Structure 1
């Protein structure tokens, strides 16, 4: 019996070390091996093809990658599969994880873990102070809309130019906090459903408090130099988000310098030659009602 157990242990250890090396170029197979939810079964997240598209060309670079959410819920010894996946797929990179539960037991070579809330700006800033600028940030944390927005506002500036910020599971934007205060009266509760009761989404597709509407507003910022609104002051996101890719339940954003300029506007007002072509001396002569949209443009500065 001891010999049988020895061989079982040996084969399991061999499998854990060899199979990732064999599949290290195939993100889909790595996802299956590490049992991340990227498969083809009902309920799985079909993110793998998008990650391969955006990651494959940079996978051998020396990167710093931070993932929010480690998995395993309240068990300090469970979770961490996606951290191991990224460690394997990015063989020259250092992987960092953040979770509200102490997951330090899951640390290993090239994987470092911090305990704290993704909704705590002070904690997130302390993490960045310790590890420095990042190349990739993946938010697979609580999926609570407020938390997603707080994390993005706090962490996006810590990306290097060319860096990538990712938000997973954006479907929670469309789910109101199920049951509300009545949750405590329900029986047969489990952690997953309890989390759904707190996500803070909305049935209103235009609710400004949801993460999807927050990110949808940033799309206009890609074209901030085309805003015909004299005196507009571009936000940090206006100036540094250079592309946004929206997929089913997934957003992938790139950081850079969004300063291409406009051939019609300068400083958010019409260029002199355009005014001349229109036969007017100033923008005021066009009778445009900027006051009616001033609140809207101020909102984009936030």
Structure 2
């Protein structure tokens, strides 16, 4: 399938756990960043194997940063891999993290997967993704699990929160200036890509859309 999937399938090092369909999505959004000087942040270190996978995939110019609440994960640090210990729903910790390592080229949220964790992380870190960067949150199926704070059509789930972002990218067209206005997200999100259990947000500077007509009318 790809270099990334080959690494995963042949891995005999530290444990990596991924849904197999994720690899096509990773390749689609992450491949342009290979062999470049980037900062890649992954929330959720687990056994440390995915950080080594990203290091291999992006190459020696990349700075890989991992975040986990388990202090033992600090032992997985190595050349070009930095690990910070803290909770992804702690806004102060995330602000310190972005001040130390940001802005980021890519943020991948593969952390605790609760609704509060996913929403808080996006709120605090999206604004510190570089223009032409990617913010990706995975394992969104937990939005349908009550044990993670979700549930079908639960207004507090990450999926329902993400649906409001669809509105925001269309705010240029609003005729309701009091309740539906252009936001910083409107001005920075080029596209929202929803997949099974993943949302990828492409970030770039966005200006108001322009429509034009060319050619000769037929009637």
- CA–CA distance in 2 between the matches of 1:260 and 1:99? 39
Task: Tell me which residue corresponds to 1:84.
Answer: 52
Q: Report deviation, 1:263.
A: 5.2
- CA–CA distance in 2 between the matches of 1:30 and 1:224? 42
Matched position secondary structure for 2:95: helix
Higher strand share: 2
1:242 aligns with 2:211: no
- CA–CA distance in 2 between the matches of 1:52 and 1:36? 17
Which of 38, 44, 64 pairs up with 1:69? 44
- CA–CA distance in 2 between the matches of 1:162 and 1:81? 27
- CA–CA distance in 2 between the matches of 1:48 and 1:175? 24
- CA–CA distance in 2 between the matches of 1:55 and 1:230? 36
- CA–CA distance in 2 between the matches of 1:49 and 1:65? 18
Q: Report deviation, 1:233.
A: 3.4
Which of 69, 81, 85 pairs up with 1:100? 69
- CA–CA distance in 1 between the matches of 2:10 and 2:201? 27
With normalisation by structure 2, the TM-score equals 0.88
Task: Tell me which residue corresponds to 2:138.
Answer: 168
Task: Tell me which residue corresponds to 1:122.
Answer: 92
Q: Report deviation, 1:208.
A: 1.9
- CA–CA distance in 2 between the matches of 1:263 and 1:54? 28
1:226 aligns with 2:206: no
Higher helix share: 1
| Structure 1 contact 225–262 (Cα < 8 Å) conserved | no
Structure 2: runs of 5 or more not aligned: 213-219
Q: Count residues in correspondence.
A: 205
Task: Tell me which residue corresponds to 1:141.
Answer: 111
With normalisation by structure 1, the TM-score equals 0.65
Q: Report deviation, 1:236.
A: 2.0
Q: Report deviation, 1:132.
A: 2.4
Structure 1: runs of 5 or more not aligned: 1-24, 39-43, 72-78, 178-198, 265-302
Structure with bigger RCO (C-alpha 8 Å, 6+ apart): 2
Task: Tell me which residue corresponds to 2:215.
Answer: none
